[in-house]
Amino acid sequence: MTIKVGGRIPESTLGLMGDDGPTTVGTNELFAGRKVVLFAVPGAFTPTCSARHLPGFVDQADNILAQGVDTIACMSVNDVFVMNAWGKSAGADRIAMLADGNGEFTRALGLEFDATAWGMGQRSQRFALIAEDGVVTELFVESPGEFRVSSAEHVLTRL
């Protein structure tokens, strides 16, 4: 079942690159007592994700954080090395680049989709959410092929 506004973020573990190499962060740790904007993309280095989605959050990071957001996080069903390289290439130093390598968190949210027809396996739908203390307060899931409601600019209007 897909997470909804008012739903609690499910417990899971995500990968990220630390100072000493790959590490993990639990969703409870990431979301508890904090206001978090999480956006997810079907794949790092893919066209819309690289040309518009991540760059929008890089460009709007100061404005988003100024609205009382503690963390901006980008997630994809990719490994921690890919997410780290993508973040570096995009100048995403103010965004936590989270790897959901096996798609477990994505499935727990109910936001997965089958991209095997394009050689990409199971992936995340394109979405963004705002959560406060681990509870979803806003959820923006894109229709297939769309990029509107999960953009940084749209999310900013809802903070």
Q: Architecture of domain 13-157 in CATH?
A: 3-Layer(aba) Sandwich (3.40)
Question: In the structure, what pLDDT confidence band is assigned to residue 36 with cuts at 50, 70 and 90?
Answer: very high
Q: In the chain, what are the domain boundaries? A: 13-157
Q: What is the pLDDT of residues 124-149, one digit of tens each?
A: 999 999 999 999 999 999 998 899 99
Query: Could you give the residue numbers annotated as active site?
Result: 49
Please give the backbone phi and psi of residue 97, each rounded to the nearest 5 degrees, phi first: -95, 100
Instruction: Check residue 121 and give its pLDDT.
Output: 73
Please state which of the ranges 19-23, 108-112, 122-126 shows the lowest mean pLDDT: 122-126
- Encoded amino acid at 35, one letter: K
Which two tokens mark 134?
């681990």
Q: Which residue's entry shows tokens 């969703």?
A: 27
SS3 per-residue string spanning the chain: CCCCCCCECCCCEEEEEECCEEEEEEHHHHHCCCEEEEEEECCCCCHHHHHHHHHHHHHHHHHHHCCCCCEEEEEECCCHHHHHHHHHHHCCCCCEEEECCCCHHHHHHCCEEECHHHCCCEEECCEEEEEECCEEEEEEECCCCCCCCCCHHHHHHCC
pTM of the model: 0.95
Question: In the structure, what pLDDT confidence band is assigned to residue 99 with cuts at 50, 70 and 90?
Answer: very high
